[in-house]
Structure formats: structure tokens, C-alpha cells
Chain A
């Protein structure tokens, strides 16, 4: 059961590209076809494999509005992340959530639709925490705005945050407004030779203190911790934490970019699956022998495992109070399950929302769950 969104088309597309999308959506709807919303395709491995005609977002591009002192940037969905980051950097600002690139040139629309954040997640927040508003084209081809360009806004339900990470299943994010932050002045990476257990204990203890930790990574007995902030804060934290500083800045930068973009050899595509566990950061070590990489102070744990083990990982994650995702299927494997299934009442709500925002099921059908 769901409520149909009335379409009186009060808002006409104000660009030929939006007009083209609208036509494409309405045609697909009439012909009962499905569309696959595609940006640069840097995350095409993510979610369930789907088919349909492409709705290409890349030519709807460009920064619409950016005023550094307002800490807000508004851009069209096809704008390359690289353009956004370069523009921000010129004013000493950045996207706080460190979006991954996965070896491609992602669009900002894709960043928002995937909702994936990088190493700074635990310190700064996730993509959804910085989404202030979106302009959405729904499954009926209607244009709607939710949220806005200001930092505090509680008029109506927070649809823009709600749809962050919805993998294009509810509409095309045509434009997005993001809160941006000043670039942090100083960055240092410290390294420690510790076991998994010691690493987790340290990370949890440090997280309870006002320390400028902006990234953490444990792999093969080595814990790396990144500090970012004002110079005195970083210096004080460095004295407090000890460890060995990575003196070569470019090595440190490559390390963090490597886990952010999964270009690090741990993530190399092969015959094993890449499984992501999202857990309470205080979760005990997971009793599995597969190769593991820990991030986010213990809250994000990656495993290279045989794909047949997915259910076991799901159970372990659920028992620990989190969830598991088949983040990247093994080469050549076609999966029918990527995300932990939703409870019945949650599925009901999802279905009703899908039915309202995309009544004909035009968009990315089955990318998130086979049910919608």
C-alpha cells in the first residue's frame, strides 16, 4: 500500500538535458522498460547486477553555486568529483567525508547515490551528514526539491538525506547541495606494530579522548593512524600517542588514498569476494581466518573470502550489531545478494516509498534488493 504522488507538473525542466531525461523516463514508463542511471560507472560493481537502458547523467554538469563563506556548494549531478574537489581546494575547503574514487572519475551524483565515505568517516561524518538538499527527478519524470542550500532546515521530511545511498532506486539526483568544511592544516600518520586485538583496544580508547584522529587502518600487524587538525592539536596528539611517524608525506597520502579508493593491493580483484562488515567500533575481533583490513576505528572491517562464506559473515555481523555487504563479487561471479536483507516492516516501508517515488519501477530495478 502506498500513496501516489500527484503529478501536476508545476515545475518544468529548465534545461534541455532535464527535458531529455523526462522524455526518456516517461517513454520507459509507457513502454514498461527499465532504466539504469549511470554516471561515470566507477561504482558499477556495487550492488546487484541490473539491466536496462542507460540514463546517462554525465552531461548535466557544472557547479551551480559556491560561496566559500557559506560553507555550501551546489552542483549538477554529472559534475566530476575532481572538479568539485579542485574548486573547493582553491578556497582552502574540502568534502569532509573523503569520497572514494575506485579508480575512476566519479560524478558527484554517483557519490551521493552510493553514499560511500572514506577514511575520515568516523571523525567527520558520512556523505548523508553533509547532504543539505537535492533536486530529484522521480519515476514519473517530475522535478522536486527537498532540503535546500542552508545548513539547518527542518521544513518537511528530510528526503534528501533519506535518499543518500539509495543507489538510484528512487529517482535521479539531478542537483545536490553539500556542506563543505575548511581543509585541515596539518596531517601526520603514526604507525604501530600491534595485533588486531591491541589495535582495536587502542582505537576504542583513543576515540574516547578529544584527539584529532582522522583515519585508522590495521592490516597485517600494522596499525596506521592519521591525525589532522590545527598544528598544536596534531603535535600534542603525536606526543601522546607515540608510535612511529611516517616521515614521507607522499607515502602517507598514497596509503590513505589506497584504502579510500581501494587501489591498495588488499582490494585487488581476484577470485575471492570483498566483504564489508559495518560494525559497532567496539566489536570484538571477528573469529575468521580470512585476510582482513580494519578501518574506521574498528567500525569498518574488510575481508577477502570465498563468496560461499557470505552468509556466515552476515550472521557474524548481525550478531555483533552490524551488517555485512558483498561489496565486490569475485571476478565473473553474478550475485543475487549484496546487502543484508531488511526486516519485514522495513521492507514494507521501502516498498511503499518505491511505489510512490517510482510507481512503474523504472529506475535501477533490483540494484539494492530484488524486491524493488
Chain B
């Protein structure tokens, strides 16, 4: 589909010389893979958010770090925008190409360089898949804690760039809490600098620029090596599955668990529509008559888990639970989780397309938010299933629509925008873990003042003075903000000269 040729907000850097770049690379790096034929670059036109597409001028797939450095140096000299790409599973269009730029894919940087069981760390290249790392660490009884549902496919470089979370991040933290240091290439005014952010020691001198790099959506530096913390595998884990007659009761149960001083290893919620989509697909044994189910996991030593599960069960019983089941073995635990982890694809089966929202709200506002969403379902005549990282207030409404129907698409986007604005109004944020990318540019104007947006530009500039890395993402222009405030829509339908129209 091509309803959206919505464009990045930055204009093309002046004196951009794409032809010069390609000629130079072909001359100096003859073995470098450069894709520039339509059929070859088309698979790169979008990431996991297929509503926004843009074919790049070319896709470059370097194999070695020295080639990567030379590619970036050439892009810098020729002022050609660079969009770095991991696995392309991002859900906000972060890896969507730039019309005048090249995509640099790090898919070939997939080596786990070192696992140090003594130090409980792993040093990896950015293209290593999240799950592959945990698998490689498993023989040492260690694992990499952040586990996005896309962990089979997504890369650690992408995880760092998005500061990704997972179902276990309430207890074990987000990517930013699990990355010790990152080596990266910075496009400075006079060349490509190799910089290490953070340290294998608990802190590094100066500002905490590693914190800024996490979640920077490929706009500050190209991450080439990541040192992550590995976590000792808990002796055992058990999950309680509880169902409720109303989402508000379920949300209150979550608050009651926290109030009891328990930080579960995972605490997830699904509403009726999500359960209905997931159960036939995953056959996890969810209570399909319930208005909401909660999955609450405990991990640790067997004594600890037995003790905690008993406490969780008691709290849930006092919180008006309908049904409660506790996994009796590892297979059952995985089955209970399988439904939750497959929530997106399961919803994908019952609708041609869906938009996944990602706002975070203070948990106590959940009832209000879900009430408003069901009103919006009527207003926009679209269905919405809700999956919720209940422990930390991160809500994923999945708005179902048909992308081939332009009117439905417009309604879906407006639906999504309204949810995001409500997230801000309720004291939350437009994105908890998927990033702003291209998708939420307009809503950035709602969440931030012009000064704050300008401060973000200053941060970008401090790293990337020429504005070549993923330009036009995350930070909206003043013009877009004006337009959004006037018309309520930040989705412009104009296309750049090099936007090759595609239909899917």
C-alpha cells in the first residue's frame, strides 16, 4: 500500500552527492555489496511498521568494521543521509529509508565476540539476534534479560537504538539497564570517530552519553560493538495465570501486588479482544470468558518462588479473581507465555493489518484509558485489542484495519493519534519502547515544548553535526508542529521526487 509517502521532517542535506558516493564506493571497495536495483532495495522500504514506506537510493551491506567505517566516511564526505538497519522489526518506522539516502544494513555483523562467564558479560556485534545471545549464554547458566517479543529476529543494535523492553523488564530492566558499554562510529565534522560509550566498569567519566545512545533511534551514532550484562538464570520460574471480570479489577490486582511489596519477574495483561485473538492461535488455555487475564511470574530459588507464588495467589484471591492457575512445570509455563508472546501475530491473523500503539500511562489511569479506547472503537468503527505490560504501565492497543482501504487507514491513524494524545494527557508518554521513528513525529509536538524539541536537536547536533544519521526521525520540525496543532493531522501526503510508488 502507498497511502503514506509521509516524509521525514528534515530536508535533504545540502550538496548531497549520491552519484559521487556510489562511484567512489564502487571504485574503492569493489567487493562491497551495494544493492541499487528496485527489486533488491524494495524489501528494505519499511520496517515492522508497514504503513510507512520509502525505497532508498541504495542498500549497502558491509562485512567488516573497516568497510563500514569507509562507507560512513564516504557518506559523510558526499553528504548522503544514512539509515542504519538491524533486522527491520522496529514498529515506529525508525529504519524506514530516506528518499535521498542509503540504508546501511548491519545484518552481517552477527558475531558473538566473547562470552565471559566469570564477568557475566557478552561482547557482541550489533547484528547478533537477541535470542541467539541468550542461547549462546545458556551453557554458562546465564542469559540476556531484556526479551522483546520479537527476540527471535531483532538485533542487539536495534535493541540499543530503541532501548527495547521485554516482558521481564519490570524486574530486570530495559536495554539501557543491561548494556555496559557500546563502541560506536560517530560522524564528526572532520571524520569518523570511533568512540566507546560507557565502560566495563560500573561507570565512566563525564556525562552518561551511553544513556543517550540507548533509545537514540540510529540518529546519534552507528553502534559497532556492544558489551552487555548477562544475568544468572534463576533456578526456577513459575507463572500464575489469573482471570478477571473487568479490566479495572485486573488493574487493581496489579496495584495490590505492587503494594504488597512484590516485584514479579513479569506482569502482563490482555483484554478480552486480545484473549479472543490469541487463544485459538496459541491454545494457551486462557479463560476466554474473562474481561482480562493477568500473567504474573515469579523466579528465583525454589524456596523463594514457592514463597512468592503463595503471596501472589493470596493477593489475587483478595482482589476479586475469577480463575487462577499456576504453571506446574516448565512446559506449562512456556505455554502460558506463548499466548502473550504471540499476541501481535495472533491479532495479525484476524485482521489484514493492525497498528500497534505503545503509550505508557500511570497504571492507575488504565481504567480511564481502556474506557476511552472502547469509545474510540465506536467513533472510528474499528476494533482494538489491548495487550499491556501491566507492571510498568506500557499499553499496546492493537488497532485492526485494512490497509487497502484508504478510509480505514485514515481512521486507524487518527485512532492511534488520539490514544497517544490521551497517554500524554493522562500523565504518560507517547512511546514506552517502540520509539518515535516516523510514526509519532506529530505527537512529539504534543508531549514536548518547542524548547524541549530544540534541545533534542542540539543533542543530535552534538553527535552528528551534519545531520546525516537517520535525519527527519524523532524530532518534528516547527512546521509540522504548527500544522498538527492547526489541523490535528501531522500525516502529510506529499511525496519527494525519489519516492518510487509501490503497491502491496
The reply on B201 being an interface residue by CB < 8 A is yes
Minimal beta-carbon separation of B171 from chain A (angstroms): 10
Find A125's partner among B177, B196, B363 (CB 8 Å cutoff). B177
Does the CB pair A8–B450 fall under 8 Å?
yes
Taken together as a complex, chains A and B put the C-alpha atoms of A297 and B434 apart, in Å, by 34
Minimal beta-carbon separation of B491 from chain A (angstroms): 18
Kindly list chain A residues whose C-beta atoms are within 8 Å of the C-beta of B209: 162, 346, 349
Kindly list chain B residues whose C-beta atoms are within 8 Å of the C-beta of A151: 170, 360, 392-394
Interface segment among B17-25, B59-67, B285-293, B298-306: the answer is B298-306
Does the CB pair B364–A69 fall under 8 Å?
yes
Find A152's partner among B116, B263, B394, B457 (CB 8 Å cutoff). B394
Kindly list chain B residues whose C-beta atoms are within 8 Å of the C-beta of A104: none
- B362-388 interface (Cβ within 8 A of A): 362-364
Does the CB pair A150–B429 fall under 8 Å?
yes
Kindly list chain A residues whose C-beta atoms are within 8 Å of the C-beta of B174: 152
Does the CB pair B389–A152 fall under 8 Å?
yes
Kindly list chain B residues whose C-beta atoms are within 8 Å of the C-beta of A68: 258-259
Find B430's partner among A7, A155, A282 (CB 8 Å cutoff). A155
Binary contact track A30-41/B, C-beta < 8 Å → 1, others 0: 000000000000
Minimal beta-carbon separation of B291 from chain A (angstroms): 21
The reply on B350 being an interface residue by CB < 8 A is no
Find B451's partner among A5, A126, A300 (CB 8 Å cutoff). A5
Does the CB pair A150–B392 fall under 8 Å?
yes
Does the CB pair B362–A149 fall under 8 Å?
yes
Does the CB pair B199–A278 fall under 8 Å?
yes
Minimal beta-carbon separation of A271 from chain B (angstroms): 26
Does the CB pair B207–A163 fall under 8 Å?
yes
The reply on B261 being an interface residue by CB < 8 A is yes
Q: Assuming A5-B458, A154-B163, is B201 touching A323 (CB within 8 A)?
A: yes
Does the CB pair B461–A152 fall under 8 Å?
no
Does the CB pair A156–B448 fall under 8 Å?
yes
Closest to B163 in A: A154
The reply on B322 being an interface residue by CB < 8 A is no
Closest to A345 in B: B193
Q: How large is the interface on B (under 10, 10 to 19, 20 to 34, 35 or more residues)?
A: 35 or more
Binary contact track B261-301/A, C-beta < 8 Å → 1, others 0: 11100000000000000000000000000000000000011
- A127-183 interface (Cβ within 8 A of B): 128-129, 138, 142, 144-146, 148-159, 161-166, 170, 181-183
Does the CB pair B177–A345 fall under 8 Å?
no
Kindly list chain A residues whose C-beta atoms are within 8 Å of the C-beta of B440: 155
The reply on B130 being an interface residue by CB < 8 A is no
Closest to A349 in B: B462
Kindly list chain B residues whose C-beta atoms are within 8 Å of the C-beta of A69: 255-256, 258-259, 363-364
The reply on B307 being an interface residue by CB < 8 A is yes
The reply on A11 being an interface residue by CB < 8 A is yes
The reply on B432 being an interface residue by CB < 8 A is yes
Kindly list chain A residues whose C-beta atoms are within 8 Å of the C-beta of B363: 69-70
The reply on A48 being an interface residue by CB < 8 A is no
Does the CB pair A152–B433 fall under 8 Å?
yes
Kindly list chain B residues whose C-beta atoms are within 8 Å of the C-beta of A342: 205-206
Q: Assuming A155-B430, A356-B461, is B232 touching A208 (CB within 8 A)?
A: yes
Does the CB pair B451–A299 fall under 8 Å?
no
Taken together as a complex, chains A and B put the C-alpha atoms of A101 and B412 apart, in Å, by 52
Interface segment among B30-38, B76-84, B210-218: the answer is B210-218
Kindly list chain B residues whose C-beta atoms are within 8 Å of the C-beta of A159: 212, 455-456, 459
Q: Assuming A156-B456, A349-B462, is B450 touching A6 (CB within 8 A)?
A: yes
- B104-136 interface (Cβ within 8 A of A): 116-120
Closest to B232 in A: A210
Closest to B420 in A: A155
Minimal beta-carbon separation of A25 from chain B (angstroms): 14
Find A128's partner among B119, B208, B451 (CB 8 Å cutoff). B208
Taken together as a complex, chains A and B put the C-alpha atoms of A164 and B392 apart, in Å, by 22
Q: Assuming A10-B450, A151-B392, A155-B447, is B177 touching A278 (CB within 8 A)?
A: no
Does the CB pair A162–B211 fall under 8 Å?
yes
Find A340's partner among B165, B196, B205, B429 (CB 8 Å cutoff). B205
Does the CB pair B432–A150 fall under 8 Å?
yes
Kindly list chain A residues whose C-beta atoms are within 8 Å of the C-beta of B433: 152, 154
The reply on A15 being an interface residue by CB < 8 A is no
Does the CB pair A345–B186 fall under 8 Å?
yes
The reply on B202 being an interface residue by CB < 8 A is yes
Most buried by B among A157, A233, A299, A323: A157
Closest 5 CB pairs of A and B: A322-B201, A232-B303, A161-B211, A356-B458, A352-B462
Q: Which residues of A contact B (CB under 8 A)?
A: 1-11, 67-72, 92, 115, 121-122, 125-126, 128-129, 138, 142, 144-146, 148-159, 161-166, 170, 181-183, 185, 204, 207-210, 229-233, 235-236, 278-282, 296, 299-300, 317, 321-323, 325, 339-346, 348-350, 352-353, 356-357, 368-369
Known: A129-B173, A282-B118. 6 other contacts (CB 8 A): A148-B429, A154-B436, A182-B263, A209-B232, A299-B201, A348-B193
Jot down 9 A-B pairs with beta carbons below 8 A, ordered by A: A153-B429, A154-B436, A155-B448, A156-B456, A163-B208, A164-B208, A229-B304, A323-B204, A356-B459
